Amino acid sequence: MDNSPSDNSGFNIGDRIKTLRSSQQRTLQDIADACGLSKSMISKIENNRTVPSVATLVKIAQMLGTNISNLMEQHGRDKAIITTFDTAMQKLTNTDKGYSIFPYATEFHEKKMQPFLFVAKKGEVIPHQLSHEGEEYVFIIDGEMKMQIGDTEYTLKKGDSLYFSALQKHGILPVTDSVTYLDVFV
């Protein structure tokens, strides 16, 4: 598994954030304040030294007047993007919250949703809850996890799914040694 965000070809989201921020003549501090992060963290993200949580990416996208899909996409307008499961697993990138992600279809221009493959390992995920604009759909591919949505905790096993408003505070905790799941943001 690739631990370096800049080694995951096509996933240098920091470059796109920096370009967009600069074109809007906004400072690192402007974005940091608006997202509730430190200026140092925004700098690390822009320099591809860390990959933040997806919720943080959603907040940054909103502050820059775009959406997460536009931050994630590369270039081009392909009609269909195919990614094998093996390829997605090989290109996972570790986040600062202790789980790994792979953004599907980064080549697809202006998509309406952003699907991610997540792999979370017991003991590595930093417990946290977050909220952001939009909706999410989670589908468990393998393993088991607990997912807190607002005041309710759900136990999700292989084949289970959950759809919810991402405005509600939410977070995950692996139950098995590892849990692999698809998370689609709209």
Per-residue confidence (pLDDT) for residue 22, from 0 to 100: 86
Q: Does pLDDT of 36 surpass 80?
A: yes
- C-alpha torsion 161→164→169→170, nearest 10: 10
Looking at per-residue pLDDT, the higher value among 61 and 117 belongs to 117
Q: What CA–CA distance (Å, rounded) separates 74 from 54?
A: 17
pLDDT digits (tens, 9 = 90+) for 105-135: 887 777 788 999 999 999 999 999 999 889 9
14, 41, 72: which is the final residue of a domain?
A: 72
**What's the structural domain count of the chain?**
2
26, 46, 72: which is the final residue of a domain?
A: 72
Residue 54 contacts residue 79 (beta carbons within 8 Å): no
Within 10 A of 66 (CB to CB), how many other CB atoms are there?
14
Q: What's 29's domain CATH number?
A: 1.10.260.40
Per-residue confidence (pLDDT) for residue 79, from 0 to 100: 65
* 66 and 131 inside one domain: no
In a domain, 50, yes or no: yes
| Mean pLDDT over each residue of the chain, to the nearest integer | 87
44, 72, 100: which is the final residue of a domain?
A: 72
* 51 and 140 inside one domain: no
Give residue 179's domain range. Answer: 85-185
pLDDT band at 73 (very low <50, low <70, confident <90, very high): low
Per-residue confidence (pLDDT) for residue 4, from 0 to 100: 39
> What phi, psi does 37 have (nearest 5°)?
-120, 170
Q: Does pLDDT of 78 surpass 60?
A: no
Q: How many CA atoms lie within 13 A of 72 on its CB side?
A: 24
